[in-house]
Amino acid sequence: MNQPQIQIPLDLPNVRVENYEQTDKGLVITVVSICTTAACRQCGRTIDKFHGYDKAITLRHLPIFDRPVWIRIRPKRFQCRYCDKGPVTTQRYEWYEPKSPHTKAYENWILRELINSTLSDVSLKRDLGAECIEGILDRHIQREVEWSAVPHLALLGIDEIALKKGHKDFVVIVSGLTAQREKYILAVLPDRKKETVKAFLKTLPPRQCQSIRHVCIDMNEGYCNAVLETLPKAQVVVDRFHVAKHYRDCADKARKAEMKRLKQTLPESEYRELKGAMWAFRKPWNNLGEEQQVVLLSLFRQAPILKEVYVQREVLTGIFEKDLTKAQAEQALTQWLDRITELGLDCFSPFATTLSNWRDHITNYFIRRETSGFVEGLNNKIKVIKRRCYGIYNLGRLFQHIWLDVQGPRTFFPEH
């Protein structure tokens, strides 16, 4: 065959190509080391007394033009003249790890492929067994935080995710943010108990305890106390989105109750006109299309109390949107509470209770507004990871996957 040919550098240092051949499993490139010394495994001295070749190893390497590539090498062996009994040392190469069946370049490529992807996708697309990929994960990524690699954090986020839909198996994700807004995954904890969270927080290096100013949490007393007891200097901030979820649920309950009433009292044709009211009710007025606004207005005509509920929910959101000081926010929330009492909007009572219990931590949000978006952003990422890693119940493995998605891009694509 007379095909056009090109030459590509192999990018493996200190070897020369001895031979290459096309086989059933791909292109096998046989290389020989050009290094003429090794470091004695016993005394560490540089030794150069050649002692033959070790048995051949074949390592998977980066594919070329969609063909699998394998590097075959017989490592050189050298004998020490200085040590007693002349121990023999096998040469090591910087481009592969002794226990790995792949070159380092190949493993780094697979790790990049795993970012924002599932293990089974990568396994399928790269024709690589799941165990091989797990081996790569374990060789390169820790199953828990390596504190020496984490710079000073300004903020911690503590949040939970359910591992199975509808199940009560929650794990707690602890994440961190530097002043430069770089995200770090710090822990995947097995349960939501205060003692579990506290035990982890106690492992924070002292320099981190000094630098962490804020801890973002859900309204969970256990987390709150764990933080107050271990990081007395940090301020607890209740994530704004958790607050919003709480009062929005109150409004939704009122809507459901009214819809149920209307279903029983309205003629069927009129009730049918309220179709789509649920979605319209959940959105702010300005985000609604004209049709949705019409549906919502018909709902308000049939159930006037829902108009008040809707307006007050949006007023509350407005408070969190505004650039208020903590004191101003406290005042605005008090006025809001007075107003719902005046209007007799009992549906918000559970939220009023929450607000009185958590007032200080909720209004801490106004001291440093940027804190909340980060935890939310990370949680969204984890939600996606969760869907991708469905069935990963091994917490160390989950940590590795979250690490790849959160920290992988800047580790493997530092130019971005």
Q: Which of 42, 117, 120, 317 binds Zn ion (CB under 5 A)?
A: 42
Given the rule CB under 5 A, which of 29-37, 42-50, 213-221, 351-359 is the region that contacts Zn ion?
A: 42-50
Residue (81 or 261) nearer to Zn ion, CB: 81
Given the rule CB under 5 A, which of 35-43, 64-72, 199-207, 337-345 is the region that contacts Zn ion?
A: 35-43
Which pair of tokens denotes residue 336? 């809001």
In Å, how far from its chain's centre is CA 85?
A: 53
- CB 45, min distance to Zn ion, A: 5
Q: Report if residue 43 touches Zn ion, rule: CB under 5 A.
A: yes
Given the rule CB under 5 A, which of 26-34, 36-44, 283-291, 397-405 is the region that contacts Zn ion?
A: 36-44
Size of interface with Zn ion, in residues (CB under 5 A): 6
Given the rule CB under 5 A, which of 40-48, 140-148, 247-255, 327-335 is the region that contacts Zn ion?
A: 40-48
Q: Report if residue 40 touches Zn ion, rule: CB under 5 A.
A: yes
Residue (78 or 223) nearer to Zn ion, CB: 78
Residue (47 or 402) nearer to Zn ion, CB: 47
Q: Which of 29, 38, 59, 80 binds Zn ion (CB under 5 A)?
A: 80
Given the rule CB under 5 A, which of 39-47, 111-119, 169-177, 325-333 is the region that contacts Zn ion?
A: 39-47
Burial of 353 (0-12, 13-18, 19+ CB in 10 A): exposed
Q: Report if residue 328 touches Zn ion, rule: CB under 5 A.
A: no
Q: Report if residue 62 touches Zn ion, rule: CB under 5 A.
A: no
Q: Report if residue 83 touches Zn ion, rule: CB under 5 A.
A: yes
Residue (43 or 395) nearer to Zn ion, CB: 43
Residue (77 or 126) nearer to Zn ion, CB: 77
Residue bearing tokens 């003249």: 81
CB 111 within 8 A of CB 140: yes
Contact footprint for Zn ion (CB under 5 A): 40, 42-43, 80, 82-83
